[in-house]
Amino acid sequence: MRIGELARRTGVSERSLRYYEARGLLKADRTPGGHREYPDGAVDRVIRIQEFYAAGLRSSKIGELLPCVRDSDGGPAATATPRLVSDLGAERDRIDRMISDLQRSRDVLDDVIATAKEQSPSAGSGDAVA
C-alpha cells in the first residue's frame, strides 16, 4: 500500500510515517518510480508505534523495543536484552508515577467540583463558578 493509504488506515500523517521510516521504526520498499510501498502488516506496526509514543517512550527506545514485540497483537516476539528489560522497567515505573499523579489531580478536581456544586445555588444550570 502507498503512504496515503497507510495514513488513512492508521490516522497517522504522512509526515509522521516518513519520520518513522527515517528513524528505522517502519520499513517501506520503493517502486521503480520511487514511491513507498508498505506491506499490509505496516498498519499493525504503526498502531504499535503510536501506542508506545502515547506511553511516553522516545523513538530510540521504541526502535529497541519493536524487534521484541509482535506487531499484530503486541505480544512478545523475541528475547529482549537485559539492558532493554532494565530500561523498560524504568519506563514502566515512570508511567506508574504519571498514573499516580493523574489520579491525584483527578481526585483534587473531584473535590473542587463537589464543593462547587454544594456551594452553588444554581448547580447544574451551566453557569460558571467564580
CA distance 21 to 17: 6
| Residues forming beta bridges with residue 69, ordered by sequence position | 76
**Residue 42: other Cβ atoms inside 10 A:** 24
Q: What pLDDT sits at residue 100?
A: 96
CA 106 to chain centre: 21
- Cα distance between residue 95 and residue 105, in whole Å: 15
Backbone angles phi, psi at 29, to 5 degrees: -85, 165
The amino acid present at 63, given as its one-letter code, is G
Whole-number pLDDT of residue 19: 96
Taking only the tens place, the pLDDT of each residue in 26-49 is 999 999 999 999 998 999 999 999
Q: Quote the strand ranges of 1-130, DSSP E.
A: 29-30, 36-37
- Give the chain's residues under pLDDT 50: 129-130
Describe the crossing of helices 3-10 and 14-22 by its angle, rounded to 10 degrees.
110
pLDDT the model gives residue 125: 54
Residue-level pLDDT at 2: 95
What span, in angstroms and rounded, lies between the C-alpha atoms of 68 and 78? 5
Residue-level pLDDT at 101: 96
Grid cell of 129 as nine digits = 463558578
Q: Give the containing element (helix H, strand E) for 43.
A: helix 42-54
Model pLDDT, residue 82:
83
